[in-house]
Structure 1
Amino acid sequence: MSDAPKGPQWSTLDRDLNRISQLELATSYVSRPLVAPGIALAFIVIAGAVAAIFLGGSTSSFVVVAAAAFGAYMAINIGANDVANNMGPAVGANALTMGGAILIAAIAESAGALLAGGDVVSTISKGIIDPDAVATADIFIWAMMAALISSALWVNLATWIGAPVSTTHSVVGGVMGAGVAAAGISAVNWATMSKIAASWVISPVLGGVVAALFLALIKAKIIYQDDKIAAARRWVPVLVGIMAGAFASYLALKGLKRIVKIDLQTALIIGAGIGALSYIITAPLIRHQSQGMENRNKSLKVLFRIPLVISAALLSFAHGANDVANAVGPLAAIVHVTEFGDFAAKVTIPTWVMVIGAFGISFGLFLFGPKLIRMVGSQITKLNPMRAFCVSLSAAITVIVASWLGLPVSSTHIAVGAVFGVGFFREWHSERRRRNSSIAKAPETRIAPEERRRRKLVRRSHFMTIAAAWVITVPAAALLSGCIYLLLATVTH
């Protein structure tokens, strides 16, 4: 009897505690999406504070602080969007976990930016706007600020809708739009813009073709051989040598500007030497690793896994060395004008600006990168280590070929184009095999056209979304930049 009153009391307490726990769960669920933006905002504030420290108490320091904050915002968006192209294939092929990919990419991108990042960059993004057409330093500063803000906003929007876009093209569009708003249409170098427009088509097509050719080679020389392991022992070291040579040439050509200026012929000679050395080192290692392996495709995936991880890391290093300077170019231009009072065709990027770019990319990749990494790696088409290796190899070789031909290309478009190239090649190849195998079959056993469409190996919805985002990147960033420049000009005058 003495325990009877306690029953309702404990029941009421349990209900109250249950409500509290449900409230805590709901609060954590609601607040979880706010953690990443909160960290990003803190980094942006820190970047502004760093700029204030380096500029001291100068009268123009406020402008540089604001530019540094927007530069950090741009760098975060590059990490969220652009780096997915380098790591997506390795994650999609299950060669790396998401955490491992983010860690490797963050280290490689930062190292590329800080160790081999170009110390000189065109303030007007490779000659898009004529500096002589800009009347005063103030107009130039606000034009660069508008370009920085608009390109960052556009890349942020593209990441949100799940479309990997070229951050360089975003900056190009931003600079063009601000330049037109500030100095008129005549200030734009339309010859340069036409080359950039051509790269929308050249980059993905060239990347896709090169990746498809390598996949065809791997299928013919390794996968469809009776003794797959013996074929792999012959060809995997060759492919690793080609990969090492391509990346050595790429890094010599694009990533070592700070140390020494290397022409294309010298870069190719360096690449040939590194490639031959890599073959000599890799051949016995592959022979040892393949001992006792079963004669099946699963064994081949193991042999390609480490070369794929290395190629993804090298691709990230090269991206950090080559593309970060483009992203922080407008910020470097603003810093230069505020310090020296004039604007030149080329300026030196201060180390603290490169640090903001490098760390911003790492933060953006860590906080917002997984969405695009998953999309590029597994949602366009199914990748395994062999196919993903072809994507990474294509990215390096296509840049070398484009440099040789003098064509402006986008590393983003090349990498994603290579993923599409691998997928479309597999569609074509499987359709050809199906036709050959069904010649002797009765018509009623063949697959219906509707079912064949359902079995497509490349998701057409992603293809259309990405292609549309690529086409409108420059005009959208330009329109946004022009509007922002007019707003800034109105507010500051």
Structure 2
Amino acid sequence: MPQNELDPKHLETLDRDLGRLSTLETATSYTSRPVIGLGVGLLFMVFAALLAAMVFGQANNTLVVVIAAAFGAYMALNIGANDVANNMGPAVGANALTMGGAIAIAIVFESAGALLAGGDVVSTIAKGIIAPESLGTSGTFITAMMAALLASAIWVNLATWIGAPVSTTHSVVGGVMGAGIAAAGFGAVSWDQMGAIAASWVISPVLGGVVAAGFLWFIKSNIIYTEDKIASARRWVPVLVGIMGGAFATYLAVKGLKRIVSIDLGDALLIGAVSGVVIWLVMIPVIRKQSEGLENRNKSLKVLFGIPLIVSAALLSFAHGANDVANAVGPLAAIVQASTTGDFTHAFGIPLWVMVIGALGISFGLFLFGPKLIRMVGNQITKLNPMRAYCVALSAAITVIVASWLGLPVSSTHIAVGGVFGVGFFREWDAERRMRKAKAVIPGAKRLPPEERRRRKLVRRSHFMTIIAAWIITVPAAALLSAGLFAVINGVMSAG
């Protein structure tokens, strides 16, 4: 080998060149990822359209159903990209799950929830927002549902792009309302129902935040701020896990198993209470064994909350799949019903092939586009650890139960993100309270200047304002978009 090839300068040059190639490959991979995602998403929409064509063959309105299936697939992709982040974000942000592990668990349990417990009979128009008879003919109804489906999907897509977790339920509601107004005027809308939904914009996040903050206060008071943290954890962590188990048993009984068995709220609460006691008793020896040899510091406590947090993420995904898949395929199922029977004024079920589109679409959307919102919810609003993430997950289950008891229409997205905000704002308040207490003990201590106090805020105000603004405009934005699309689709169909 020639001597100059062994010259260290040549080797350094080779290292730099290899480094540039490595950087170029990384950049190419990063920039090609969205393109690959878009390509796979488009292929899935084509698959959904072909599946609808195979099911309907040469029947009347086959083309309408095929187009609607593609729209439903697009909506399902966006629900996976946006909505599922609320279940997985806290666990990922707390490092209880890796991004890959979270996506795998969510895909399995979202699909299981949708296919096993989803698809119960729903009303002809989403949550009774408009009176179906006001639309006149089945053709007008189909056009309205297509506009609502496409408008809500576009809005959720836009919200995901700007990094705002929004309610897909409210997006569908806004889409149906806008199309209904465009088709039959303002009198077609059930304004009482819309008022209840508007109230839920405030009730959902506030209730979720208060419940999450309350449990974090309990954990801090009874475990973190005690002298012997491990002894306190052995006493209270089994109780907390039992409460979580009972809450999720009730939550699944009320919201997730309606297709398998009908359970009223009283029976669901009894199931939850029994489950909670059993889990509490089982967890006592488990936590005692897990806590052996742990140091008496906060970092050690994180180990004890890891498994409950993973289980809660899986259960939230199952319940979400069982309930929210209808947001993607409910309007599609309504179009199928109206196209095949001409009936659009009675309740309808969701066919299995339509449910498959919803389940697969949510899974693909999560895998391809979900990490962005998972990072937003888990890391970028406020810093989460397993204890704080536990409070958010438990808050989601309890708040839905309370809302069901009160008969309030709430958004799982608003509850989960409200729980994250509640945890963050509580930590700010608690840190300020402890600082004031410390200054009372140390005479002459100076108060921090306003700039430094703003810098130490534990909740990012920019994300807070962006998300709140997106929540407020979701229904009107989806409604305006849907009304415009109704006019376009109606014009195209009339011309055809």
Structure 1 CA distance, aligned partners of 2:311 and 2:223? 21
Structure 1 residue 192, shift from structure 2 partner: 0.3
Q: What residue in structure 2 maps to residue 121 of structure 1?
A: 122
Contact kept in structure 2, 1:118 and 1:255, CA below 8 Å? no
Q: What residue in structure 2 maps to residue 365 of structure 1?
A: 366
Letter in 2 for 1:143: A
What does 1:48-197 align with in structure 2 at a 5 Å threshold?
A: 48-197=49-198
Q: CA offsets, 1:352-396, max 9 Å, x none?
A: 111110110000000000000001001000000000000000000
Structure 2 CA distance, aligned partners of 1:483 and 1:284? 61
Letter in 1 for 2:349: T
Letter in 1 for 2:291: S
Letter in 2 for 1:471: I
Q: What residue in structure 1 maps to residue 9 of structure 2?
A: none
Q: What residue in structure 1 maps to residue 5 of structure 2?
A: none
Structure 1 CA distance, aligned partners of 2:459 and 2:446? 25
Contact kept in structure 2, 1:210 and 1:394, CA below 8 Å? yes
Q: CA offsets, 1:440-483, max 9 Å, x none?
A: 44556432221011100000000000000000000000000000
Q: Secondary structure at the match of 1:348?
A: coil
Contact kept in structure 2, 1:121 and 1:326, CA below 8 Å? no
| More divergent stretch after superposition (168-177 vs 21-30) | 21-30
Q: Secondary structure at the match of 2:201?
A: helix
Q: What residue in structure 1 maps to residue 430 of structure 2?
A: 429
Q: Does 1:271 align with 2:272?
A: yes
Q: What residue in structure 2 maps to residue 386 of structure 1?
A: 387
Structure 2 CA distance, aligned partners of 1:66 and 1:168? 22
Q: CA offsets, 1:47-86, max 9 Å, x none?
A: 1111111111112111111111110100000000000000
Structure 2 CA distance, aligned partners of 1:88 and 1:447? 33
Q: What residue in structure 2 maps to residue 223 of structure 1?
A: 224
Q: Secondary structure at the match of 2:370?
A: helix
Which runs of no fewer than 5 residues in structure 1 stay unpaired? 1-13
Structure 1 residue 27, shift from structure 2 partner: 6.2
Structure 1 residue 22, shift from structure 2 partner: 10
| More divergent stretch after superposition (469-478 vs 217-226) | 217-226
Structure 1 CA distance, aligned partners of 2:280 and 2:331? 42
Structure 1 residue 255, shift from structure 2 partner: 1.3
Q: What residue in structure 1 maps to residue 41 of structure 2?
A: 40
Structure 1 residue 118, shift from structure 2 partner: 3.4
Letter in 2 for 1:258: R
Letter in 2 for 1:165: V
Q: What residue in structure 2 maps to residue 324 of structure 1?
A: 325
Q: What residue in structure 2 maps to residue 257 of structure 1?
A: 258
Q: Secondary structure at the match of 1:101?
A: helix
Structure 1 CA distance, aligned partners of 2:265 and 2:329? 26
Q: CA offsets, 1:136-189, max 9 Å, x none?
A: 000000000000000000000000000000000000000000000001110000
Q: What residue in structure 1 maps to residue 472 of structure 2?
A: 471
Letter in 2 for 1:251: L
Structure 2 CA distance, aligned partners of 1:175 and 1:357? 19
Structure 2 CA distance, aligned partners of 1:200 and 1:318? 21
Could you say if the C-alpha distance between residues 50 and 229 of structure 1 is closer, same or farther in structure 2, counting changes exceeding 3 Å? same
Q: What residue in structure 1 maps to residue 11 of structure 2?
A: none
Structure 1 residue 438, shift from structure 2 partner: 1.0
| More divergent stretch after superposition (423-432 vs 233-242) | 233-242
Q: What residue in structure 2 maps to residue 348 of structure 1?
A: 349
Q: Secondary structure at the match of 1:126?
A: helix
**What is the TM-score when the length of structure 2 is the normalising length?**
0.94
Letter in 2 for 1:316: S
Contact kept in structure 2, 1:123 and 1:332, CA below 8 Å? no
Could you say if the C-alpha distance between residues 24 and 410 of structure 1 is closer, same or farther in structure 2, counting changes exceeding 3 Å? closer
Structure 2 CA distance, aligned partners of 1:220 and 1:299? 17
Structure 2 CA distance, aligned partners of 1:377 and 1:24? 29
Q: CA offsets, 1:71-115, max 9 Å, x none?
A: 010000000000000000000001110000010011111111111
Contact kept in structure 2, 1:118 and 1:256, CA below 8 Å? no
Structure 1 residue 31, shift from structure 2 partner: 3.5
Could you say if the C-alpha distance between residues 287 and 24 of structure 1 is closer, same or farther in structure 2, counting changes exceeding 3 Å? closer
Contact kept in structure 2, 1:233 and 1:287, CA below 8 Å? yes
Could you say if the C-alpha distance between residues 400 and 21 of structure 1 is closer, same or farther in structure 2, counting changes exceeding 3 Å? closer
Letter in 2 for 1:204: P
What does 1:237-256 align with in structure 2 at a 5 Å threshold?
A: 237-256=238-257
Letter in 2 for 1:144: M
Structure 2 CA distance, aligned partners of 1:487 and 1:446? 61
Structure 1 residue 28, shift from structure 2 partner: 5.6
Q: Secondary structure at the match of 1:59?
A: coil
Letter in 2 for 1:367: L
**What is the TM-score when the length of structure 1 is the normalising length?**
0.94
Structure 1 residue 291, shift from structure 2 partner: 1.1
Structure 2 CA distance, aligned partners of 1:434 and 1:296? 20
Could you say if the C-alpha distance between residues 345 and 193 of structure 1 is closer, same or farther in structure 2, counting changes exceeding 3 Å? farther
Q: What residue in structure 2 maps to residue 6 of structure 1?
A: none
What does 1:328-339 align with in structure 2 at a 5 Å threshold?
A: 328-339=329-340
Contact kept in structure 1, 2:119 and 2:355, CA below 8 Å? no
| More divergent stretch after superposition (200-209 vs 51-60) | 51-60
Could you say if the C-alpha distance between residues 32 and 118 of structure 1 is closer, same or farther in structure 2, counting changes exceeding 3 Å? closer
Could you say if the C-alpha distance between residues 446 and 249 of structure 1 is closer, same or farther in structure 2, counting changes exceeding 3 Å? same
Letter in 1 for 2:103: I
Aligned residues: 477
Structure 1 residue 417, shift from structure 2 partner: 0.1
Letter in 2 for 1:410: S
Q: What residue in structure 2 maps to residue 417 of structure 1?
A: 418
Q: What residue in structure 2 maps to residue 5 of structure 1?
A: none
Structure 1 CA distance, aligned partners of 2:347 and 2:254? 19
Could you say if the C-alpha distance between residues 22 and 374 of structure 1 is closer, same or farther in structure 2, counting changes exceeding 3 Å? closer
Could you say if the C-alpha distance between residues 24 and 86 of structure 1 is closer, same or farther in structure 2, counting changes exceeding 3 Å? closer
Contact kept in structure 2, 1:79 and 1:362, CA below 8 Å? yes
Q: CA offsets, 1:270-313, max 9 Å, x none?
A: 11111111112111111111111111111100000111111111
Contact kept in structure 2, 1:90 and 1:96, CA below 8 Å? yes
Structure 2 CA distance, aligned partners of 1:41 and 1:202? 37
Which runs of no fewer than 5 residues in structure 2 stay unpaired? 1-13
Q: What residue in structure 2 maps to residue 377 of structure 1?
A: 378
Structure 1 CA distance, aligned partners of 2:449 and 2:229? 33
Q: What residue in structure 2 maps to residue 211 of structure 1?
A: 212
